[in-house]
Each structure stands twice: as structure tokens, then as C-alpha cells.
Structure 1
Amino acid sequence: MIKVVIFDLDDTLISEKSFALSAFGEISIELSKVIKKPISVIYEELVSLYNESPNYIFNRILEKNNIHLNKNFIDDLIYIYRNHKPNIKLSDEVIELLLHLKKSEFHLGLITDGFKSTQINKVISLELDKYIEKIVITDELGDNREFWKPSEKPYTIIKDYFNVEYNEMIYIGDNINKDFIAPIKLGMQYALYINENSHYQKTEIKENIGQSISHLNDVLKLIR
């Protein structure tokens, strides 16, 4: 019987794009110092480039505008991106789901990769501690991404926190490359959240991925 429901954060509970759009507001101001265009135009260029691909977006917008700057400027933009205070929120659907799970006496956990300062700012802005009892930011567990997924450690931390067995936990995530490696090894249940906006689902999803859900609310069908 499932006692603990664990969620991924980016592109599961929230859209990673919403975080990016929030950062682009501040980054557009910084870019306007070297790209002689209105801030609103720079913002729209960033959004357009992001929709094509989120990779190397700051390099690409500078190249697009024939601006050649040293790596330090790119690093400054990345710093703003990772450390800005995001203007993001949970959707009504997600809030209703989390409240329903809590009311139904399921324990809730979160495991999220990403740079520590970035993920902490997201957690604070989203007020996740109102809904989720145990939040594990894997970057806080060690250096050099040692305990990022697919490490088993974050799952073990949640198991020990709630004093349950692995087969009493289910993990919901969107990354087919790393989210389910540890849960499978540990004997947990898991489900792929099929999210058309996920960065990690651009390739065709293989049929043998196991359980999958198209809407987060479908998790309720898996834990009855």
C-alpha cells in the first residue's frame, strides 16, 4: 500500500519554462546594456530562442545580435538566471492535488535536482513547505552533483524520514533518463508524467517505460 507520494519539481509540479520567463525579465535589462534594443524586444527574442531550445540561450542571443563578449559576461547572465527571485506559482490543479493527498493522509515528498540556490528560491517562491513534508534538494547533499538523480540517497532520505518501506513509496517525474533508475533498483513504484513541455521528452517515449500518467491528477488512480 502506498503511504508516501514523492514528486519531481521542474516540469512536473511546475513548468521549468515559467522559471525561465521570470529570469528573462532581469536578464533582458542586463542585455540591454550591450544590445541596443528595447528591453521588451530583447525579452521576446529570449522567449523565441528558448522555445527553439533552452541550451546556450545567452550565447545564441548575443550571436544573433552580432555581439562578441568574453565569457565573464555570459557567466554574469547565468548567475542572474540561477539566483534571481522567481515570480512563479503552483497551478490551482497542483494545489488541489496536494491538498487532496494530504487530506487523504498520504505523506508528501519532493526530490529535485538543480543548483542549490536556484532550487531553494523556487521552493520559497512556491511556498512548497505548506504542502510537502519532506523536501530534498539533491545539490545540498554533496558536491559535484554526487547525489543528484539517479543517486539512491535522496530516496533513502525520504524513506527514513517517514519510516516506511521502499515499496510503500511512489515517485512521479518527467525525466525518462534518470528519474526512475533508483526507484526501480529500490523496489519503489513510479510513474512517468507525460508532459509535452518537458525538456526530456523531445524524443519518442519507449513503450517499456512502465506506468505513465498524462495528468498529475491521474496519480490518484495509481495509489488507491
Structure 2
Amino acid sequence: MKKLVIFDLDDTIYAEQQYNLACYRAAADKFHEDFKVDIYPYIFQEFSQGNYRDLFSLAIQEVGVECSEDYIRNELVSTYRSYQPELTPYDGFERHISNLRDKYALAIITDGPLDIQKAKIKALGISKYFDVILCSSELGSDVRKPSAQPYEYVLNKLGMSHKDSVYIGDNKKKDFVYPNSSGMHSIHILNKVENDNLIYGRQEGESAQHYCESYEELVVLLESIFE
């Protein structure tokens, strides 16, 4: 019987900054259309330095434009959330996912707004590789990792035991808490070769049982875990 490999989505299968920066660009274009000022260079600079909070307000303040909170919320944030950019998985994912599909049962558990996460998965074109894709909010608006619910849903759906399953993620605050406590395996993938801005890289929390730096290392690590 195949073992089960469950992936996180953002910064695990693709670089989330792809999505963030494309959506910021779309919102900045809207602002430029309305005020004839480009706020994107400031947003890009701050984001690249690991500053992710209140970027619209800070950028607008930086360029000296008077703008209401209603405009930011109803126009810029709305544009950001509704924009659907083209996305590309990590090269390592694309090189190895077909072989992983042949060897293991595969699933995704991801947090976040259902419509946004579903749109990301569609843009990445990866649904065909996975037996189950679960956005945790499908189980309830307040359900998210590290809750046991999404993990247990996937394991039950595929009839898999904890010891024969592994979760691969990037966020120490929530990804590895339940796998570590339930008898699952856990892997923290730090794909810095392909992503120089790991958004959750500074999170404190519970460490995974294993680390790897690339998908090439991940393939070998999975074989050692399940040998």
C-alpha cells in the first residue's frame, strides 16, 4: 500500500511572493489609474525586505497622497484579493512530482480564503497530481492548521494511518504541531535556491522532525522515512 505525502501550498509548492507581488502590482495599477502615482516601487522594496504589513497605507503615505481608508479597503484590497495571476510551481516540484505521484498517495492541506486558494491551485495547474486537495476552511470558517481536523479529514478520506503519512510545509507556527503530536512524520522544506523571500521563514513555533533544502533532497528524505 502506498504511503501518504501531504503538502502545504504557499511557499511549499510554489513561491508565494509570486502571488503577492502580482496582486500588489494589480492594485498599484489601480492606484496609478486613479491618482497618477506609482506606489509599486515602495511596496516591492518593503516586501523584498520582509515587511508585509500595511503596505498600501505606508506606500500611499510615502508618496504624499491623501487617501481614505475606505478607498484602500474597497479599491486596493479588493483588487488585490480578486486578481488571479499566472503562477508557476517550483522547478523542483515540476521535475519530481510525476515520480512522487507514482510512488505515493498525494494530498494538499492549505489554509486561507477558499476562493483565493482554489484560484491559486487552478493557476498552478497541479490538481491532476493529487488524490485530495483540501482548503481547511471547507471544514468550517474557523478551521485552520494546527487544528487536527484537516489532517484527520485527509487521512480518513484516503484510509491512511498516521505512521504511514508525512506532512511537508514551511510554517513552524502551525504546520508541524499536529503531525508531530499524532504520530505522523513532518518535513520542513526550505527551498532557498528557488525562493529568496520565504514569507514564514521567521515564524517561531514547533520544528519539523526533518529538514530539506530542495526537492532533490526531499525525494531522498521520503525514501529514508518510509524505507
Is the structural similarity TM-score above 0.5? yes
1:143-158 correspondence to structure 2 within 5 Å: 143=141, 146-158=142-154
Q: Which ranges in structure 2 are unaligned for 5 or more consecutive residues?
A: none
Query: Which whole-Å deviations, capped at 9, do the CAs of 1:98-129 have from their partners, x for residues lacking one?
Result: 1110122x011101111112111101111121
Task: Name the counterpart of 2:28.
Answer: 28
Classify the secondary structure of the residue corresponding to 1:190: strand
* Distance in 1 (alpha carbons) for counterparts of 2:157 and 2:100: 18
Alignment partner, residue 8 of structure 2: 8
Correspondence list, 1:52-201, <5 A: 52=49, 53-76=51-74, 77-104=76-103, 106-143=104-141, 146-196=142-192, 197-201=197-201
The aligned amino acid for 1:142 is: G
C-alpha displacement at 1:2, in angstroms? Answer: 6.8
Paired with 2:6 and 2:168, the residues of 1 have a C-alpha distance of 6
Matched letter for residue 40 of structure 2: Y
Distance 1:223 1:203, change over 3 A: closer
Partner of 2:202: 202
1:29-85 Cα distance to aligned partner (Å, 9 max, x none): 211144433xxx533332112113121111111111122322222213222222211
Contact 1:83 1:117 in 2 (8 A): no
How many equivalent pairs are there?
A: 217
CA distance in 1, matches of 2:65, 2:42: 14
Letter paired with 1:188: M
Task: Say whether the 8 Å CA contact 2:39–2:63 is kept in structure 1.
Answer: no
Query: For 1:166, what is the secondary structure of its paired residue?
Result: coil
Q: Distance in 1 between matches of 2:208 and 2:120?
A: 29
User: What per-residue deviation string (whole Å, max 9, x for no partner) do you get for residues 127-186 of structure 1?
Assistant: 12121121111122212xx21110111111110111010111101100011100111121
CA contact (8 A) 2:172 2:203 kept: no
RMSD between superposed Cα atoms in Å: 2.1
Partner SS, residue 186 of structure 2 = strand
1:43 to 40, 45, 61: 40
Identify if the C-alpha distance between structure 1 residues 209 and 141 changes in structure 2 by more than 3 Å, giving closer, same or farther: closer
Give the counterpart letter for 2:65 in structure 1: I
TM-score by length of 2: 0.87
Matched-pair contact (CA < 8 Å) for 1:6–1:171 = yes
Residues of 1 paired with 2:204 and 2:101: CA distance?
A: 34
Contact 2:7 2:169 in 1 (8 A): yes
Question: How many angstroms apart in 2 are the aligned matches of 1:148 and 1:135?
Answer: 14
Match of 2:19 in 1: 19
Contact 2:132 2:154 in 1 (8 A): yes
Give percent identity, aligned residues only. 27
> 2:209 is aligned with what amino acid?
G
Q: Which moved more, 1:108-117 or 1:209-218?
A: 209-218
TM (normalized to structure 1)? 0.88
